[in-house]
Amino acid sequence: MNNPPSVLFVLPWSLSDADGVSQVVINLAREAAKHENLRPIIFCADPSQETFQVGETEGITLVSGRLRAPLSGAQPGRNLATFAHKLRDELRIWRAFLEKYNVRVVNAHHPSLDYSVFALLRTRRAKIRLLFSLHGTDVTAVEKSGVAARPIARWMLKKADRIICCSEALRKRAQVSLKLDERRLTTIHNGIDVSELDQAKTNVYKPDVGGFDNYLLNVASYEHRKGQDILLHAYTDLLRNGLKSALVLIGRSTPYLQTLRGMARQLGLQGHVFFIPDLEHSQTLSAIRHARLLVQSSREEAFGLPLLEAGYLGTPIVAARAGGVPEVLGGYYPYLAEPDNPAALAAAIDEALFNPTDTKRQVKLMKRRVATGFTWGTAYNAYESAWSADAG
């Protein structure tokens, strides 16, 4: 029976979640299917499922099931006892799974304590190579975890053969704050699917912006760290100075969305600001392509996939100089503002809008930069090197 070697991608949530980490995993799995060196399997944690559910799409095996964390909920002591009691069965189930699918590499993204089983499998000499991929909010979660959870998270990460960070800024932060061995840390930038973005150029979708002829756009989960509140204040200043563009905010729904809606009302922005939660990705790409500017105002940003998408689609970009953003746009990119500074963001937007000659030049440079250095093919080759047994 043909049973080719596999790479198992692990996510702590469903693929249906509109999240940048999910996009990373989906695209790496697609590249693996193209290269045919390792069969791609995506496992999505689902606490409601006691047994594995298996499906397939685009030549990728999809599996969902339960992962047990050693500490969780309001009674960590009781949960730890339950975890220990069921650990032998859990390890047996996972060893059987790895053997059945001939898994050679486990690449777990956005690590949490749910992934402890994979670190334990490594200590039991399972014939797998284990890699964790960090994306930013996972590092924050470990930094903010309690005194019981933090040592377990660090132990789990230290069991990996390699830890992948999506930017050099994140790599440096993870090394210092999580006390990780620099030799096991690798930076691999995320990428774009060129064919998907070329297809997006034929999509006619545009956000409804009332009577406005054009719009500025922000694409980010509705979260305080993404700085949409900063953008609302900067946009208010620009309106007072004669700006005639709407503002569209596309993002994943969170409770913070209501806070932003309330802020927009308080600032008198009704009819000027349009929130579009949970928009399908192809329509989001079309919205980016038709925008006058993409404005990313994050306080924290490990990488920023929309920056790549806008760069390739030819949309001018203004962004806060946070985290890995300068790595994406380039150290000399002119339209970068200091984070958490509405006045600086408004000035950068104004400069990009009313300096058209240089803005057009930056658009051309960005498209070339993205197309040559930030594709999923490039990212996959780097990942495959890290997956190999002789890496590092």
Which tens digit of pLDDT belongs to each residue from 256-285?
A: 999 999 999 999 999 999 999 999 989 999
- In this prediction, residue 113 carries a pLDDT of 86
pLDDT above 70 as % of the chain: 93
Cα→Cα distances 107→60, 160, 181, 292, Å: 15, 10, 18, 38
Cα separation, 176 vs 314, in Å, equals 37
Same domain, yes or no: 203 and 178: no
Length of the chain: 392
Same domain, yes or no: 207 and 335: yes
Cα separation, 339 vs 124, in Å, equals 45
Tell me if 81 is assigned to some domain. yes
Query: How confident is the model over 51-109, as pLDDT tens digits?
Result: 899 999 888 999 999 887 765 655 555 666 666 667 788 888 899 999 999 999 999 99
Tell me if 298 is assigned to some domain. yes
Tell me if 50 is assigned to some domain. yes
Query: How confident is the model over 138-178, as pLDDT tens digits?
Result: 999 888 887 778 888 898 999 999 999 999 999 999 999 99
Over residues 187-196, the mean pLDDT reads 92
Domain that holds residue 178: 6-191+376-387
Same domain, yes or no: 369 and 381: no
For the cut 80, the answer to whether the pLDDT of residue 384 exceeds it is: yes
Degrees to nearest 5, angle at CA 239 with 235 and 243: 100
The answer for residues whose C-beta is within 8 angstroms of residue 112's C-beta and 6 or more apart is: 12, 69, 138, 141, 153
Same domain, yes or no: 231 and 106: no
Cα→Cα distances 267→88, 325, 343, Å: 57, 28, 16
Reading the block at residue 143, the tokens are 């930094």
Give the pLDDT band (50/70/90) at residue 226: very high
Tell me if 392 is assigned to some domain. no
Tell me if 1 is assigned to some domain. no
Same domain, yes or no: 219 and 199: yes
- In this prediction, residue 73 carries a pLDDT of 55
Same domain, yes or no: 94 and 136: yes
Give the H or E element holding residue 106.
strand 103-109
Query: How confident is the model over 237-255, as pLDDT tens digits?
Result: 999 999 999 999 999 999 9
Same domain, yes or no: 344 and 231: yes
Contact 391, 163 (CB under 8 A): no
Cα→Cα distances 92→28, 89, 156, 246, 372, Å: 28, 5, 19, 56, 45
- In this prediction, residue 82 carries a pLDDT of 64
Over residues 4-28, the mean pLDDT reads 88
- In this prediction, residue 77 carries a pLDDT of 55
Same domain, yes or no: 225 and 340: yes
Residue 100: CB atoms within 10 A of its CB come to 11
Same domain, yes or no: 295 and 164: no
For the cut 70, the answer to whether the pLDDT of residue 199 exceeds it is: yes
Same domain, yes or no: 181 and 201: no
Tell me if 27 is assigned to some domain. yes
Over residues 31-60, the mean pLDDT reads 91
Cα separation, 28 vs 366, in Å, equals 23
Same domain, yes or no: 254 and 281: yes
**Considering only CA atoms, which of 226, 272, 282, 269 is closest in space to residue 251?**
226
Range with lowest mean pLDDT among 126-135, 143-152, 380-389: 143-152
**For the chain, what is the domain count?**
2
Give the pLDDT band (50/70/90) at residue 392: very low
Cα separation, 255 vs 372, in Å, equals 38
Tell me if 311 is assigned to some domain. yes
Give the pLDDT band (50/70/90) at residue 364: very high
Contact 48, 67 (CB under 8 A): no
- In this prediction, residue 149 carries a pLDDT of 81
- In this prediction, residue 329 carries a pLDDT of 95
- In this prediction, residue 367 carries a pLDDT of 94
Does 20 or 378 have the greater pLDDT score? 378
Tell me if 122 is assigned to some domain. yes
Same domain, yes or no: 285 and 169: no
The CATH number assigned to the domain holding 13 equals 3.40.50.2000
Over residues 127-148, the mean pLDDT reads 89
DSSP collapsed to 3 states, 276-322 = EECCCHHHHHHHHHHCCEEEECCCCCCCCHHHHHHHHHCCCEEEECC
Give the pLDDT band (50/70/90) at residue 391: very low
